[in-house]
Amino acid sequence: MTGAAVAQGDKTRVILELGSGNDLHGCDYTKAALRAVADALHHSSLAFIRSLKIDKTKLGVEVTIGVQRPDLVQIEEIKALLPVGSPTVGVIKGGLDVPDPEHDDAAVIASAAVAVRVDVSALATSGKRARPPERR
């Protein structure tokens, strides 16, 4: 996966959540993508929203999905899964298809990245703002 969804203004990325999901039978790319996003979301809890008293509606949320058939992903279903903010969803070619030619089936795998952005200049805690290098 090399692309990214559209950046959202001047907000600084504070976390990138990563996940993968699959649909083992049926080649449902939307189902695989939904599971990938759910996996990404459920490996972290964004405690800073409460700690820094951030208005959740002002968070920037960018979802990027990688699947082999991006045209078959229902973007509105992905948006409905996001709990906060007004997400943008980008779907690009990626993920992995594992064909089973003997049974005319395939397992389809989706990758998901969810970037959460905050306007740090609006925070009371941001005395020394710096553009961050990415970590991990």
Closest CA to 73 of 42, 110, 107: 110
Q: Are 27 and 121 in contact (CB under 8 A)?
A: no
How far apart, in whole angstroms, are the C-alpha atoms of residue 136 and residue 49? 22
Residue with Cβ nearer other proteins (53 or 69): 53
With binding defined as CB under 8 A, does residue 126 bind other proteins?
Answer: yes
Please select the residue that binds other proteins; options are 37, 46, 54, 61, rule is CB under 8 A.
46
Residue with Cβ nearer other proteins (24 or 48): 48
How far apart, in whole angstroms, are the C-alpha atoms of residue 13 and residue 116? 6
Residue with Cβ nearer other proteins (76 or 134): 134
With binding defined as CB under 8 A, does residue 2 bind other proteins?
Answer: no
